[in-house]
């Protein structure tokens, strides 16, 4: 019985099959990349109604995080500054700058400034800033070098596996409470990290990885 496919056409079929496999792998990889970069927008500056620069305020002027994010030590939410907090300086400084027009508009009309959210957790995650800050997790761990961002972007993926990486082994990412708000500080890690975990009474890994720790 003669062969149905010639040698040549058999090669074509093989190549097509390999091509389909390769295309599948490529789609999966591309999907992952797309997810990282496009959906999460890691490292992509987010346009804001006022082009607020953390680089200027934190890096150049050295304003403490807590001056604007007032509830970060006491509440779940770090808190965005009210218009009046901005105006503590900007009622005097750069009053006529065009880019600050929305700020003065907000003051005049009593309507809030509609900032775009950069770090968005799903609604079923109950993250608490105050506990993390109290337990020696520095701002920079999750938010990156905000003091170097002209427009703020997301520095970390904020996915569950990323959260769990720290919850499973917090010691390397802890720093002394005095350095929590210090953008340039580096977590000591090693024995020092383990010592910090003990003095800060970090809960057991079992407790930290319970579903009920973050989800209710």
Partner 1 sequence: MHADDEPLHFHPREATALTRRSALGVMAAALALASGACSRPPRERIYPAVGMPEDAPGERPLYYASASVRDGHALGVRIGTQQGRPIKIEGNPLHPSSLGATDVFAQASVLELWDPDRSSAVLQRLGTPRERDARPPAATSSWEAFETMWRGRAARLRAEGGAGLRILTGPVSSPTMRAQLAGLLERLPRARWHQHWPLRDVAADAGARAAFGQPVQTVLHLERARCIVALAADPFSDGPGAVRNALDWSTGRDADRNGGGELARLFAAEVGPGLFGARADVRVALPPARIDALVRRLAARIVDGSRRDGNLVAAPAELAFETALVAALASAGSDAVIVPGAALAAESHAAIHAIHQRIGASGRTIDLVAPLAMASEAGSLAELVEAIADGAVDTLLVVDANPLYDAPAALDIAGAFAKVRTTIHAGLYRDETAHASTWHLPLSHDCERWGDALAHDGSATLVQPAIAPLYATRSATELLALVGGDEERDGHRLVQRQWRAHAGGGDFDAWWQESLRRGVVAGGAAAPLALTPRTPSVGRPADDAPTPRDDLVAVFAADPSAHDGRFANNAWLQELPRPHTKLTWDNALLLGPATATMQQLQTGDVVRATIDGRALEAPVWVSAMHAEGVLTLPLGYGRRDAGRVGNGVGFDAYRVRPTDAATAHARIERLHRRHDFAVTQHTISQSGRDLARTVAPGERIADPGLDHASLYPRSTSPEHAWAMAIDLDACIGCNACTIACQAENNIPTVGKDEVIKGREMHWIRVDRYETPDVAGSIFQPVPCMHCERAPCELVCPVGATVHDAEGLNVQVYNRCVGTRFCSNNCPYKVRRFNFLQWVDRETESLKGQRNPNVTVRQRGVMEKCSYCLQRIARARQHAQTTGEPIADGDVVTACQAVCPTRAIRFGDLHDTQSDVVRARTSPRHYALLGELNTRPRTTYLARIAAKTEPKS
Nearer to partner 1, 6 or 199 (CB): 199
> Which residues form the interface with partner 1 (CB under 8 A)?
38-39, 41, 46, 70-71, 73-77, 79-85, 106-107, 110-117, 120, 123-124, 126, 128, 130-131, 134-135, 201, 203-204, 206-207, 210-213, 215-216
CA separation for the pair 86, 101 (Å, rounded): 12
Select 6 or 82, whichever has its Cβ closest to partner 1. Answer: 82
Smallest distance from partner 1 to CB 200, Å = 10
CB of 186 to partner 1, least distance (A): 24
CA distance 53 to 67: 15
Closer residue to partner 1, CB minimum distance, 8 or 216 = 216
Shortest distance (Å) from residue 64 CB to partner 1: 17
Comparison of 73 and 182: residue with beta carbon closer to partner 1: 73
Other Cβ atoms less than 10 A from the Cβ of 15: the count is 10
Q: How far is the CB of 151 from partner 1 (least distance, A)?
A: 13
SS3 32: helix
Asked if 69 contacts 81 with a C-beta cutoff of 8 angstroms, the reply is yes
Q: Which is nearer to partner 1, 12 or 121 (CB)?
A: 121
- Helix (H, G, I), strand (E, B), or coil: what is residue 61? coil
- Residue 113 or 187: which CB sits closer to partner 1? 113
In the complex, least distance from residue 205 CB atom to partner 1, rounded to whole angstroms: 10
Quote the least distance from Cβ 61 to partner 1, whole Å: 20
Q: Classify residue 16 by burial, with Cβ atoms within 10 Å: 0-12, 13-18, 19+.
A: exposed
- Enumerate long-range contacts of 108-112, CB under 8 Å, 24 or more apart: 112/83
Provide CB contacts within 8 A for 108, sequence distance 6+: none
Cα gap 105→94, rounded to integer Å: 15
CA quadruple 171, 176, 182, 184: dihedral sign: negative
């Amino acid at each position: 019985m003669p062969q149905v496919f010639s040698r040549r056409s058999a090669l074509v079929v093989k190549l097509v099959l390999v091509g389909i496999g390769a295309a599948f792998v490529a789609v999966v990889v591309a999907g992952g990349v797309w997810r990282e970069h496009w959906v999460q927008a890691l490292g992509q500056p987010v346009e804001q109604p006022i082009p607020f620069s953390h680089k200027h305020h934190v890096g150049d002027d050295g304003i403490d995080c807590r001056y604007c994010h007032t509830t970060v030590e006491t509440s779940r939410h770090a808190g965005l500054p009210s218009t009046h907090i901005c105006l503590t300086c900007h009622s005097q400084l750069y009053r006529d700058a065009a880019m600050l027009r929305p700020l003065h508009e907000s003051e005049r009309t009593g309507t809030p400034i509609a900032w775009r959210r950069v770090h968005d957790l799903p609604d079923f995650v109950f993250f608490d800033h105050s506990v993390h800050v109290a337990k020696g997790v520095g701002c920079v761990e999750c938010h990156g070098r905000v003091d170097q961002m002209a427009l703020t972007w997301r520095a970390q993926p904020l996915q569950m596996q990323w959260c769990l990486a720290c919850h499973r082994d917090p010691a390397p990412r802890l720093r002394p409470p005095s350095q929590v708000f210090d953008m340039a500080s580096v977590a000591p890690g090693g024995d020092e990290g383990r010592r910090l975990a003990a003095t800060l009474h970090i809960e057991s890994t079992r407790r930290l990885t319970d579903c009920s720790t973050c989800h209710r």
